Chain A
Amino acid sequence: MENTTTDQQTPLILSGIPPEAQATLRGIETKKIRYRRNLIIAFAVLIILMAGALIIIGLDFKFMVKWIPFILAGIGYTLLVSFLAISLACILAVAGALGRLSSNPIFNSIATSYVSLIRGTPLLVQVYMWYIALPQVGKALEDLGLTGVQSIFTLPAIPAGILALGVCYGAYMTETVRAGIQSIKIGQIEAAKALGMTSSQAMRRVIFPQAVRVIIPPVSNEFIAMIKDSSLVSLMGVWEISFRAIKIGRRHFQSLEMLIMAAMIYWVMCFILQLIQEKIEAHMARGDRRTS
């Protein structure tokens, strides 16, 4: 840390800047260094206080360590549900955005109602809808003479969870994708059209590749949020992280330890995803910062 700051400082001093300006520059530099140092101290104090608090309330660390492997075994379900749900959400979001931007009244009204309905209802209610209300719809259809529908509409917990999360996030991401597409300058579409491209060619070759760059940060945020919301599938008895933590916590009357551990595991996963997101963004930004 210290080394890099002095390295950056040297060329400034060397490059023939008048002394009075150098003094100001040095002042700015020392302020930066002081700020960084104070920030590190503040974080350290915060961490010590938190750890201290955990020790004071008498957290049973031995108990936590004992159950770590069991809780960690739930990561698989958490990731499985999140990955499949975000994939579904991406597909729905692109279709939804094209619908929202479509001049076709059928596609447009379907996409608009989808976004409005899903965004206007709690995810918790939607999860139950897919899991325990959908079979009733199946039964009603079966009674109308569609044999076999009830068994199709009676979903196991994991598919129901993936559908609930995917459909819900798809609605939010529809607006993200739509905004991304609309952020591309009209000149790009005109240039594509002037070359003789059809609307779909222009969308595929010119608009969408540029929109993807714009929407990667918000979509990564959605994915991080989804990792956490995937805990809702515990309501249906899927053995993912929070379900395991709650179960063990209740059984041994040590919910605090288990919940703190589950929270930490989510935090670490999100932290890793955030690092990956930063890497992808840096990669995407390389070479072609938009100017025109």
Chain B
Amino acid sequence: MTQDLNPMVKVTNIHKVFDGKHHVLCGIDLEVTSGETIVILGPSGSGKSTLLRCINLLEEPTAGSIEVDGTVIHAGENSKQRDSQILDIRKKTGMCFQSFNLFPHMTVLENIIEGPVTVLKQQKDQAIPYAEELLDWVGLTEKRDEHPSRLSGGQQQRVAIARSLAMKPKIMLFVEPTSALDPELIGEVVEVMERLAKEGMTIIAVTHEMHFARDVADRVLIMEDGIWLEEGTPEQIFSHPKHQRTRQFLAHIL
């Protein structure tokens, strides 16, 4: 019951300044409840990806706090306990990158069991059945023993999703997961993301896939210059945008 009251992700007043001068995030707040699918849109360079990278602390926020499933991290602190809390957040958070970043020296299966074996200290043969299940779920069972370089971009991204899911995360972050893909390969990745959303995964996605935003998202947020411009249901955002800037942006990408 308390789960429903506490948000899965709570970002409070996050600032990010790069190199002491580029103010990329300017006091961002965000709450995501369990099972929600959020899509963040906005012009390139508006800070969307940086926000996602702050949530799992790949990027250290300059100010503010991050809470993921009850674990809170405040910017600017430094302690042993904090380091282990960061690892804790990363274990609960899956992330898919624009450039997939599969491990090229491992087979597909080895990529997927790497997290459970190295981070969660599972035995190999203990981790393999679930990995195979995930591989089947993303439709790549026959690629089990291939190296990533033998896979298409779409297949690599689906393996990357399976690799994240092997950690049984509570939330998935997608950073432009289809931006590096050839147009004909985008569909297969979006389809996997849709199924993931339907199965109740909490998702925050930065993507330009309007289908996904319109059909799957519970909420769409528009970011510009490090602040929220507008937020609402896909219906509100796409059919009745309030801001002139939102209208301009949507006209540009649709």
Residue A247 lies at the interface, judged by CB distance under 8 Å to chain B: no
List of A residues within 8 angstroms of B91 by Cβ? 195-196
Residue A210 lies at the interface, judged by CB distance under 8 Å to chain B: yes
The answer to whether A206 touches B103, judged by C-beta atoms less than 8 angstroms apart, is yes
List of A residues within 8 angstroms of B90 by Cβ? 193-196
Closest Cβ–Cβ distance, residue B254 to chain A (whole Å):
30
Closest Cβ–Cβ distance, residue B220 to chain A (whole Å):
24
Q: A187-B97, A190-B58 are in contact. Are A195 and B104 (CB under 8 A)?
A: no
Q: A187-B99, A197-B118, A197-B119 are in contact. Are A288 and B105 (CB under 8 A)?
A: yes
Residue A289 lies at the interface, judged by CB distance under 8 Å to chain B: yes
Residue A205 lies at the interface, judged by CB distance under 8 Å to chain B: yes
Closest Cβ–Cβ distance, residue B55 to chain A (whole Å):
11
Q: Chain B: interface residue count, which band?
A: 20 to 34
Residue B102 lies at the interface, judged by CB distance under 8 Å to chain A: yes
Q: A193-B58, A194-B56, A195-B115 are in contact. Are A292 and B100 (CB under 8 A)?
A: yes
The answer to whether A288 touches B147, judged by C-beta atoms less than 8 angstroms apart, is yes
The answer to whether B149 touches A290, judged by C-beta atoms less than 8 angstroms apart, is yes
**CB-CB contacts below 8 Å: B82-113 with A:** 87-88, 90-91, 93-95, 97, 99-105
The answer to whether A195 touches B99, judged by C-beta atoms less than 8 angstroms apart, is no
Residue B148 lies at the interface, judged by CB distance under 8 Å to chain A: yes
Secondary structure at chain A's binding surface: helix, strand, loop or mixed?
A: helix
Q: How far is the CA of A205 from the CA of B119 in the complex (A)?
A: 11
List of A residues within 8 angstroms of B164 by Cβ? 194-195
Q: A190-B101, A210-B105, A292-B100 are in contact. Are A201 and B148 (CB under 8 A)?
A: no
The answer to whether B114 touches A195, judged by C-beta atoms less than 8 angstroms apart, is yes
List of B residues within 8 angstroms of A205 by Cβ? 114, 118
Q: How far is the CA of A209 from the CA of B118 in the complex (A)?
A: 15
Q: A289-B149, A292-B149 are in contact. Are A196 and B119 (CB under 8 A)?
A: yes
Closest Cβ–Cβ distance, residue B85 to chain A (whole Å):
12
Residue A116 lies at the interface, judged by CB distance under 8 Å to chain B: no
The answer to whether B97 touches A290, judged by C-beta atoms less than 8 angstroms apart, is no
**CB-CB contacts below 8 Å: B157-177 with A:** 160, 163-164, 167
Residue A276 lies at the interface, judged by CB distance under 8 Å to chain B: no
Q: How far is the CA of A3 from the CA of B113 in the complex (A)?
A: 47
**CB-CB contacts below 8 Å: A193-252 with B:** 193-198, 201, 205-206, 209-210, 213
**Of residues A190, A196, A287, A289, which shows the largest number of chain B Cβ atoms within 10 Å of its Cβ?**
A196
Residue B50 lies at the interface, judged by CB distance under 8 Å to chain A: no
Residue A191 lies at the interface, judged by CB distance under 8 Å to chain B: yes
List of A residues within 8 angstroms of B102 by Cβ? 191, 292
List of B residues within 8 angstroms of A191 by Cβ? 95, 97, 101-103, 160
The answer to whether B105 touches A195, judged by C-beta atoms less than 8 angstroms apart, is no
Residue A151 lies at the interface, judged by CB distance under 8 Å to chain B: no
List of B residues within 8 angstroms of A192 by Cβ? 103
Q: How far is the CA of A292 from the CA of B181 in the complex (A)?
A: 12
List of A residues within 8 angstroms of B149 by Cβ? 287-292
Partner pick for A196 among B87, B97, B99, CB 8 A cutoff: B87
Residue A136 lies at the interface, judged by CB distance under 8 Å to chain B: no
List of B residues within 8 angstroms of A185 by Cβ? 101
Residue B156 lies at the interface, judged by CB distance under 8 Å to chain A: yes
List of A residues within 8 angstroms of B104 by Cβ? 210, 288, 290-292
Q: How far is the CA of A185 from the CA of B114 in the complex (A)?
A: 18
The answer to whether A292 touches B148, judged by C-beta atoms less than 8 angstroms apart, is yes
Q: How far is the CA of A193 from the CA of B57 in the complex (A)?
A: 9
List of B residues within 8 angstroms of A291 by Cβ? 104, 148-149
Residue A188 lies at the interface, judged by CB distance under 8 Å to chain B: yes
Task: List the B residue with the shortest CB-CB distance to A286.
Answer: B147
Q: How far is the CA of A187 from the CA of B101 in the complex (A)?
A: 6
List of A residues within 8 angstroms of B103 by Cβ? 188, 191-192, 206, 210
**Of residues B88, B93, B118, B119, which shows the largest number of chain A Cβ atoms within 10 Å of its Cβ?**
B118
List of A residues within 8 angstroms of B118 by Cβ? 195, 197, 201, 205
The answer to whether B119 touches A194, judged by C-beta atoms less than 8 angstroms apart, is no
Q: How far is the CA of A190 from the CA of B101 in the complex (A)?
A: 8
Closest Cβ–Cβ distance, residue A203 to chain B (whole Å):
12
Task: List the B residue with the shortest CB-CB distance to A213.
Answer: B105
Closest Cβ–Cβ distance, residue A114 to chain B (whole Å):
29
Closest Cβ–Cβ distance, residue A210 to chain B (whole Å):
5
What are 5 A-to-B residue pairs whose CB atoms are below 8 Å?
A195-B167, A196-B87, A209-B105, A287-B147, A289-B149
Residues of chain B at the chain A interface (Cβ within 8 Å): 56, 58, 87-88, 90-91, 93-95, 97, 99-105, 114-115, 118-119, 147-150, 156, 160, 163-164, 167
9 A-B pairs closest in CB distance: A191-B101, A196-B91, A187-B101, A194-B95, A195-B115, A196-B90, A288-B147, A196-B119, A291-B149
Identify 10 new A-B residue pairs, CB closer than 8 A, beyond the known A193-B90, A196-B88, A196-B115: A187-B99, A188-B101, A190-B101, A194-B164, A195-B115, A195-B119, A196-B90, A205-B118, A287-B150, A292-B99
